Amino acid sequence: MQSVVSVTVLPKVVARPIPGEPRVPPSSFVSSERVPFSFDVVRGTVHSANRVIMRRGGCVISKSAVDAFSGVVDRSLVLDPIDKKYLINQARNRLTARAPKTAPVKTPVVSATSLKTLEDSVADLVGATRLEPTGGNCPACRAARGLICLFRRRRPYGLPAMTTVSTTTLLARLNWRYATKKFDPARKIPGATWASLEQALVLSPSSYGLQPYRFIVVTDPKLRETLKPLSWGQAQVTEASHFVVFARKTTLTEADVTKLVDMTTAARGTPRGSLQSYHDMMVGDLVKGPRNAWVSEWAARQTYIALGNLLTSAALLGIDACPMEGLDTAKFDEVLGLPAQGYSTVCVCALGYRAPDDKYATAKKVRYPAGELIEHR
């Protein structure tokens, strides 16, 4: 390793909070866990930038500055605010120290503005924000933008510590749930709880991330009365607090694929060209490939993934649910006007609270032994 290496100073950055993610104080992070962003990763990226800058005759600063920069970014993400401040001050002291006489004449003293940028960058990374470089097209600026992109790609370490449920709680909730046959019509799901369940639907995984479905939450009592006889007269349609119709896309076009790619580019700040191969793969598979002949069935499979996600989420929140396939899907489509929108009904789900006299609430679950359902190889 060279005793003197070059490093780019981050250009002026603008911190923009990501929608739906409030800034989280560093104190809420788990200090006992190491983050997947190591000293070597930062140093390696800096060295890569060095090669670009040095070929262009860029300025250099001492190796200790690289170490300080690497260390403060690496360690401050898992420490409390007091320790973070100490590390930043330590970096300031090392970065502002004049280079030894043996260092190249070009070695500058890092300016106060650059130090402030370093401090802001670290604070913003801890605060789970997105960094967006502005201005500057010199080799050093381009290398700095590359470093920021690395931060962005490794952003999961900037999320707040996640609280997980225990295995006991998970299994208890799954044993508690059942396909509720009789709901208490007087009990309604609170607005905040229902909003979380809707987000659980939105966050459901799907093949390629294409989300080829739509969820119709039927709140109109008259409309639900209309749908009841189309659901074999099942009382859950009208008695449950909420009623959701799961619909799939009947066709998939290149425009649908392009929409997802454009949204991904905007959300992640990645160049559009970097996703072109992904775009072409999806088009070649589902739009122009052999699977297009049964893409509606493929979309139905994705819809059932969302249904399963909703059922599990509801159970964890203490909400009863009943998935239902006993319905006239063609009539549902007609009543809801789905064909004109390019969708068709797959299944429905009623959610709410079980009635005290629902005899199925205490019925023993009947499941095949795990040895018959799960095979280890």
Q: Is the pLDDT of residue 273 over 70?
A: yes
Say yes or no to pLDDT of 159 above 60: no
The C-alpha atoms of residue 141 and residue 243 are separated, in whole angstroms, by 53
> Mean pLDDT, to the nearest integer, of 104-131?
43
Mean pLDDT throughout 19-31? Answer: 34
Query: Cβ contacts of residue 268 below 8 Å, gap of 6+?
Result: 152
Confidence of residue 260 (pLDDT cuts 50, 70, 90): very high
Q: Report the distance separating Cα 35 and Cα 88, nearest Å.
A: 18
- Span 269-282, mean pLDDT? 93
Query: Given this model, what pLDDT does residue 89 score?
Result: 57
At 67, the pLDDT band (50, 70, 90 cuts) reads low
**Which residue has better confidence, 233 or 68?**
233
Overall average pLDDT of the 48-74 stretch: 44
Alpha-helical regions (H) of 177-253:
191-202, 221-227, 236-239
Statement: residue 253 has pLDDT above 60: yes
pLDDT higher than threshold 70 for residue 152:
no
The answer to whether residue 39 scores a pLDDT higher than 90 is: no
Q: 296 pairs with which residues across the strands?
A: none
Of 127-131, 138-142, 269-273, least confident by mean pLDDT is 127-131
Q: What is the pLDDT of residues 332-356, one digit of tens each?
A: 999 999 999 999 999 999 999 999 9
Tell me what the mean pLDDT of segment 232-245 comes to.
98
Report angle CA 320, 349, 307 to the nearest 5 degrees: 95
pLDDT > 70? residue 24: no
Render pLDDT for 179-208 as a digit per residue (tens, 0 to 9).
999 999 999 999 999 999 999 999 999 999
pLDDT-above-90 percentage for the chain? 54
Look at residue 86 in the predicted model and tell me its pLDDT.
Answer: 55
Q: Is the pLDDT confidence value at 108 over 60?
A: no
Q: Is the pLDDT of residue 55 over 90?
A: no
pLDDT surpasses 60 at 213: yes
CA 296 to chain centre: 26
Bridge partners, 243 (sequence order) = 350
Helix (H) or strand (E) run with residue 366 in it = none
Looking at beta carbons, which pairs linking 79-82 to residues 24 or more positions away fall under 8 Å? Answer: 79/26, 79/31, 80/26, 80/27, 80/31, 81/25, 81/26, 81/27
**Lowest-pLDDT choice from 86-100, 153-167, 309-323, 354-368:** 86-100
177-209 as b/e, with b when 16 or more CB fall inside 10 Å? bbebbbbbeeeebeeebbebbeebbeebeeeee
Helices (H), the chain: 39-55, 63-76, 81-96, 112-126, 139-153, 167-176, 191-202, 221-227, 236-239, 254-268, 276-282, 295-316, 329-336, 370-373
Q: Enumerate the domain spans of the chain.
A: 4-158, 168-373
At residue 232, the pLDDT reads 96
- Would you say residue 111 has pLDDT above 70? no
- The mean pLDDT of 38-53, rounded to a whole number, is 43
Phi-psi region of 343 (alpha: psi -120 to 50; beta: other; left: phi over 0): beta
User: Which is more confidently placed, 5 or 264?
Assistant: 264
Superfamily of domain 168-373, CATH level 4: NADH Oxidase (3.40.109.10)
Q: What pLDDT does 280 receive?
A: 97
Tokens of 40: 């070597």
- Taking the model in full, what pTM does it have? 0.61
Assign 163 to helix, strand or coil.
coil
Closest C-alpha to 257, from 295, 231, 294:
295
When pLDDT is averaged across residues 205-227 and rounded to a whole number, the result is 98
Least confident of 54-63, 116-125, 203-212: 54-63
Label residue 120 by pLDDT band (50, 70, 90).
Answer: low
Phi and psi at residue 166, to the nearest 5°: -75, 160
Mean pLDDT, all residues of the chain: 73
